[in-house]
Amino acid sequence: MRNHYVRTENAMRFEDMCQELESKESLIGPSLAMLTGPAGRGKSAAAERYASQTEAVYIAPMNVLSPTMVLKDICFELAAQRPRYTDACLRLIKDEMNRHRRLIMVDEADLKEMRTLEMLRNLNEYANCPILLIGEMDLISKVSSRTRIVSRIRRSLTFEPVTPADMALFFKRGLDQELTPDVVKVLHQASYGDWRPILLMVLVCERALSASSLKAITPGLAKEAAAAAEAARKSGAWGKHGRKH
């Protein structure tokens, strides 16, 4: 399987939002923004890919970090330095933003302490740096509990469920398989709109195709793959993931 990145509608809206946050000509300026969605919708993948392709900075999930540690991580990503003191961190970030504005993406922000989110809000104001908070749906209620933060969020995006068209494109790119409408229906239903079951079903189909004389994914094979995804979902393979859409 070729693990191709599929530029879905979610991904395109995400990239547009990031470009708007980074742009000096943008009307919203260097703001706070939020990306939410259930696990498995491709939020982290989209963020990592965007950070790889541009000058944006991605702060990987690590829930034990204090606000100061997050600040030092941001300094390290921007300038490969970890100043000892908080005020030096703030000055460095401000200096770097004045030199070259870059988007800072903080993943699993819903699991961060409120102190950390308040610190990021302060950082956004002090250093004029655009910050994107990424997290599951809990992030919305967490942020909403603080007017100081929610009032500064100028853009918000929720990743919608993976569409049948996105899934079909992934099968096309990954396995070079054109799916028939009935196969798409079976597989999409088993995916619950998330990428992880889709990846599993692709692997199941790929192994079956290479082990047999089959040239295409039949409805029978699709049902097998769907059953495998359902079994994984019921065993809790993807945590709380697998909501019906």
Partner 1 sequence: MGANTKKTGLADQVRAAMKKRRKPFTPIQIAKALELPPGPKREAVAKVIGDFHQRGEVERVGQSERGYLYRYNRKYKRPERPANLKRKVLKAIRYAGMKGAFTTEDVLFRAGVSKSHIHKILRNLENRGFVEVAGQKNRELSYGLENMYQVTDDDRFRRELL
Q: 3-state DSSP call for residue 134?
A: strand
Judged by beta carbon, residue 98 or residue 144, the one nearer partner 1 is: 98
Tokens of 43: 């939020």
Candidates 33, 38, 67, 77; binder of partner 1 (CB under 8 A) is 77
Q: Which of 15, 13, 112 is nearest to 60 (CA)?
A: 112
Q: How far is the CB of 8 from partner 1 (least distance, A)?
A: 14
Strands 57-59 and 153-158: unpaired
Sole window of 74-82, 165-173, 178-186, 188-196 interacting with partner 1 (rule: CB under 8 A): 74-82
Residue with tokens 């696990």: 39
Can residue 2 be called a binding residue for partner 1 (CB under 8 A)?
Answer: yes
Candidates 27, 52, 147, 181; binder of partner 1 (CB under 8 A) is 52
Cβ atoms of 118 and 87 closer than 8 Å: no
How far apart are alpha carbons 75 and 72 in whole angstroms? 5
Q: How far is the CB of 51 from partner 1 (least distance, A)?
A: 7
Q: Which of 187, 140, 141, 173 is nearest to 159 (CA)?
A: 140
Can residue 49 be called a binding residue for partner 1 (CB under 8 A)?
Answer: yes
What's the CA angle centered on 143, arms 17 and 31, to 5 degrees?
A: 35
Candidates 29, 220, 236, 239; binder of partner 1 (CB under 8 A) is 29
Q: How far is the CB of 87 from partner 1 (least distance, A)?
A: 8
Judged by beta carbon, residue 99 or residue 240, the one nearer partner 1 is: 99
How far apart are alpha carbons 168 and 236 in whole angstroms? 25
Residue with tokens 């599993």: 200
Can residue 23 be called a binding residue for partner 1 (CB under 8 A)?
Answer: no
Q: How far is the CB of 160 from partner 1 (least distance, A)?
A: 21
Q: How far is the CB of 53 from partner 1 (least distance, A)?
A: 6
Q: How far is the CB of 34 from partner 1 (least distance, A)?
A: 16
Strands (E), the chain: 32-36, 57-59, 104-106, 131-135, 153-158
Binding site for partner 1 (CB under 8 A): 1-5, 29-31, 45, 48-49, 51-53, 58, 60, 76-77, 79-81, 83, 87-88, 91-92, 95, 98-99, 124-126, 128, 152, 203, 206, 210
